Amino acid sequence: MDFGILSVIIFLPMFVAFLMLILPFGAKGTRNAAFLTAVVIFMLVSVVYYNFELYGFMQFSEHYEWISTYGINYSIGIDGFSLIILMLIAILIPCAYLWLWDGRTKGYWVSMLLIQTGITGTLFSQDLILFYFFWEAMLLPVFMIIGMFGTGNRVFSTIKITVYTMMGSLFMLISILYLGVAFFENYGFWSFALSDIIQIQNLSKTEEIWLFVGFMIAFAIKIPLFPFHTWLLETYSNSPTGGVFLLSSIMAKLGVYGIVRFVMPIFPELYKEFAPYFVWIGIFGLIYFGIAALMQTNIKKMFAYSSASHLGFIVTGIFSLNAYGMTGAAFLIIAHAMATGGLFLLVGKMEYNLGTKSIPDLGGIAKKAPMFTTFFAIMVLCIVGLPGTNGFVSEFLIILGAFGFSPSAGIVSAFTVLIAASFMFWMFQKAILVDSGNDTSKMKDLNLKETMGMIPLAFLIIAMGIYPDWFFYKIEPTIQHYIVDILEIRNY
Amino acid sequence: MNVPDFIYLLPLFLVIVGALTLMIISTFKTITIKKGATVTLLFLLLAFFANMYNLNSSDNIYSVYPFVEIFNKMIIVDTFSGYFSAILILGAILTILIGLHYFEKHKGFTVEFFSIFLFSLFGMMFLVHANELISAFIALEITSISLYIMIGFEKVIDRRVEASYRYLVLGSLAGVFYLLGASFIYGSTGTTTIGIIGDMTLNTFETNYQLLIIGGTMIFITFLFKIAAFPFQNWALDVYDGAPLPVTAYMAATFKAAIFGFILRLVIVDFDLIRDFWDDVLIYIIILTLAYGSFLTIVQKSLKRMLIASSIVHTGYLLIAFTSIGMIGESAASSIIFYLVAYLLSALGAFGLIAYISSNDHLRITYDDFRGFARIRPYMAAMLSIFMLSLAGIPATIGFIGKFYIFTGAIESGNTILAIVGILATFISVYYYFKLIAIMYFYKSVEMTNVPPLKGVAPLVIAGIALMIIWGGIGNTLIAYFPGVDFLIDMAKLSYESLFIG
């Protein structure tokens, strides 16, 4: 794989996007090109997945000089943790494209392509400045797609999410620069490479805490962790379907990814020291957002909170400092992305067909659209964590991890996972199953493309629930490496 | 040195000859604005190439006093002045190109304008070559007087004349401070030659430090006035707003670079000892400049005034690097130079494009006028977005790299607090720059009459600037022989070194 397969995966969508901007293709042509790109990338990613060796270090690395005066390099690579998120992205995006097939403009597709570049670039970066570069660059197409194609008070939502995430990013930038300078003072040459930055010796504890906070704010806003979630509701409910799909199923996960990739190796001591707080913040988020979701009648808002609730649980997993919790978190990232992403697509269709997303106005959809209902049910069951879905496996593992961390955390999380069940089943019954007398006759069932788009997700949700080992073995060495080498925990 | 002294002064000489030529030919009726601009460009290009020849001819760095028997050590030609001259000439070329359409459409402009334009450029180039306080003052005044005329050139419009007078009065007052400062310095050291002042402060015990510090501070006040830093910023908004847009762009970007070019030389070479005295004050000045500038920018409704007010914020960023000079001279100085280039490109692009859009009428352009602009002129909206992103310092633009250097330098020199304040100002700037993008893209279009189409030289040049900005943000030295970010910063470092070999 020495032709730079990762670079191709990053830049192909961007290249196509610019090509489409210049060439006089309409919305349809752009869409076809975008879909083709996504499929090609899926194939490339499959090659990467197949060739990925079973050890926990960076693979497929590429390295070019960029701004050599300051030791900033274009340096990318993946390990097991990035690999599974990459695989996830590669599967989700073409599926989503099938769903967004009709009625989108050219600008929409170009934005989607650019977002894909931003996401994969963020995922591969092994240099802090490069990471920041993609992290920020990702924001722009998101800004565009919400502002141009959103609903409701979209301009306000757009400015709000931009200002919010920008604030986090800028704190992170300060931390990155500070680390770079610290490295320079320590070793006498400039470097922002992650592998160099982790060797800094000369930071005092106070400095480390501030830097840690700088990074964590950026990631906590993106995830969003309580109390940085106030952008969430408006953004999710005013975004167009494609935007909210990417935000919830992929970009939120990048916040978690950032914690694991950067915060953990750079500040291993603080990571362990502050882990109890974050475990509890995660559990608190699980409960808080769960209760908030209970009170929503707008389906999109309910899913927004349910999504935040699960992300809190993922954070609990990665801070549980043991292999169960971390593997569970990695697994939940996938499970949740598929289920929530799928649900947002399904709801988007429902909103498009019926013009409403409010639960009291719905009902009786099961009869009109059996296929729709089936997939909806699978996604709901995955979110709830029914055995047989990957949602169960991951939640079970995180609860085990939480028990390993402290029994009280384990007990609380074991009970509170059930909150999801209460609102999900209630919503599913009210909105889909029971005939409430509302006129929902305009609801159409899935067409062929939409079905094709849902099948991979549903299949994986079940397959990963039944044979989780098939999917664990690629990530296991990486988790091992995190815990033993980076966090230096021996008895996990 | 086998190159004759004359070659070193050729860029300066070409510019002044160009100015005189234009003055003579402007009396002929057959010379239109377009022809005048062509002649101007011709001389500018010649000067640019002569300057590049000087920069390239010596393999490494150089520093000479041309015609030392005539000028004594008044004029210095080194890599530093060469690099700055390149920036200034480039700024002038771009100003002429992007302003061409504006100059043609507006009745007030005649060919003499270009002559005065070249005089002002001559003053700026002289300023960065000046190695002596009084010649620097002359250079500064040549520039300033030319600018007074250029601002009020469209004398049919009252606003222009008012701005011109205001600048004349205030600028002269600031000039007086400079002269007084220079005479104090002469009084304490017995010389006005840069380099020798520094030696005197180091070597003799008899130097009157109080007088030197007062003199230095007075010069410094003029400097703060000219770059519109707090508390001398208020004139900027009215004067720049009253000036024709291309002139505003020229002043905000190019003139600022020239001022920084001189003051950097003065501070780095000479004022080592007394710089510490200013550093504490400067920190407050920076914080206030950033805070007040951000506030001024947020409240503006007119796009032109917003860009002007935000130039005060950019001055604040530049001053952040300025405080770091004592600790990390080389990287601080080079980050200032780099940021000047980055700002020059972004500001010229933004001002130039707005000038082009508004060139068919005399309207003040407000944010609201740009509602849905992306639907009428998608390419122009895209370019304007690129400029806004670069000014806000978003990655993939040259503005990000510029801010990266400045903030890294601030942290490196121990001024983390300034870096944080700078970041906060950046954060606020996201609001007012993104607002324009949001307005252009997220609304239905309003009728915008008289927007010129995307044709002719000006839009092409503006598109070129947009590409340069992107290249500056992502480009590297992978593509051989094509200058990227590294080239600019390495060149800046060389020019810093050249200050010490004279």
Question: pTM of this prediction?
Answer: 0.90
CA dihedral for B338, B465, B393, B388, sign (positive or negative): positive
CA distance A86 to A46: 10
User: Which DSSP string corresponds to A297-308?
Assistant: -BHHHHHHHHHH
pLDDT tens digits along B305-349: 899 999 999 999 999 988 888 777 788 888 898 899 999 999 999
* Residue B448 neighbours by CB under 8 Å, 6+ apart: B369, B373, B376
**Residue A392 reports pLDDT greater than 90:** no
Question: Residues B215, B217, B219, CA angle at the centre, nearest 5°?
Answer: 75
For residue A66, list chain B residues with Cβ-Cβ distance below 8 A: 476
**Tell me, what DSSP letter sits at residue B451?**
P
For residue B396, list chain A residues with Cβ-Cβ distance below 8 A: 133, 137
Give the number of other CB atoms < 10 A from CB of residue A163: 15
**Model pLDDT, residue A1:** 45
Q: Which of A133, A144, A170 lies nearest to residue B423, judging by beta carbons?
A: A170
**Helix (DSSP H) and strand (DSSP E) numbers for chain B:** 21, 2
Residues B419, A177: C-beta atoms closer than 8 Å: yes
Nearest chain A residue to B418, by CA: A174
Structural contact between residues B387 and B94, judged by C-beta atoms closer than 8 angstroms: no
**Model pLDDT, residue B500:** 79
Nearest chain B residue to A136, by CA: B395
Distance from CA of A181 to the nearest CA of B (A): 6
Query: Average pLDDT of A92-115?
Result: 85
CA distance B122 to B406: 29
CA distance A485 to A58: 14
Residues B407, A174: C-beta atoms closer than 8 Å: yes
pLDDT tens digits along A160-196: 888 888 888 888 999 999 999 889 888 888 888 888 8
Q: What is the mean pLDDT of chain A?
A: 85
Interhelix angle B5-25/B33-57, nearest 10 degrees:
180
For residue A122, list chain B residues with Cβ-Cβ distance below 8 A: none
**Residue A450 reports pLDDT greater than 90:** no
pLDDT tens digits along A353-380: 877 778 777 777 777 788 888 888 888 8
* Residue B356 neighbours by CB under 8 Å, 6+ apart: B98, B101, B102, B452, B458, B459, B462
* Element holding A63 (H helix, E strand): strand A59-67
Residues A140, B394: C-beta atoms closer than 8 Å: yes
For residue A67, list chain B residues with Cβ-Cβ distance below 8 A: 401, 476, 485-486, 489
Task: Give me the phi and psi of A67, to 5 degrees please.
Answer: -115, 90
Q: Work out the pLDDT band at A3, boundaries 50, 70, 90.
A: low
Give the number of other CB atoms < 10 A from CB of residue A237: 22
CA distance B348 to B98: 8
Task: Give me the phi and psi of B271, to 5 degrees please.
Answer: -100, 30
Q: Is A148 on the interface with B (CB under 8 A)?
A: yes
Interhelix angle A106-124/A128-137, nearest 10 degrees:
160
The two tokens of residue A248 are: 């919830």
What are the helix (H) ranges across B443-482?
457-474
For residue B420, list chain A residues with Cβ-Cβ distance below 8 A: 174
* Residue A355 neighbours by CB under 8 Å, 6+ apart: none
**Tell me, what DSSP letter sits at residue A228?**
S
**Model pLDDT, residue B1:** 46
Residue A414, Cβ density class (10 Å: 0-12 exposed, 13-18 middle, ≥19 buried): middle
For residue A143, list chain B residues with Cβ-Cβ distance below 8 A: 434, 437
**Model pLDDT, residue B147:** 92
Residues B489, A69: C-beta atoms closer than 8 Å: yes
Angstrom CA distances, B280 to B267, B285, B332, B410, stand at: 16, 9, 17, 14
Q: Which of A67, A173, A181 lies nearest to residue B412, judging by beta carbons?
A: A181
Residues B441, A144: C-beta atoms closer than 8 Å: yes
CA distance B497 to B63: 10
Residues B427, A167: C-beta atoms closer than 8 Å: yes
Q: Which residue has the higher pLDDT, A242 or A119?
A: A119
Give the residues of chain B that fall short of pLDDT 70.
Answer: 1-3, 57-60, 202-208, 272-274, 361-364, 447-450, 476-484, 502
Q: Which of A147, A166, A178 lies nearest to residue B442, judging by beta carbons?
A: A147
Most B-contacting residue of A64, A66, A163 (CB-CB within 10 A), to test interface? A66
Q: Which of A68, A166, A174 lies nearest to residue B419, judging by beta carbons?
A: A174
CA distance B178 to A479: 66
Q: Is A158 on the interface with B (CB under 8 A)?
A: yes
Beta bridge partners of B300: none
Task: Give me the phi and psi of A76, to 5 degrees please.
Answer: -130, 160
**Model pLDDT, residue A60:** 84
Beta bridge partners of A72: A67
Q: Is A163 on the interface with B (CB under 8 A)?
A: yes
CA dihedral for B439, B316, B266, B176, sign (positive or negative): positive
**Model pLDDT, residue B79:** 86
Structural contact between residues B235 and B167, judged by C-beta atoms closer than 8 angstroms: yes
Residues A177, B430: C-beta atoms closer than 8 Å: no
User: Which DSSP string corresponds to A389-458?
Assistant: SHHHHHHHHHHHHHHHH-HHHHHHHHHHTHHHHHHHHHHIIIIIIS--S---TTPPPP-HHHHHHHHHHH
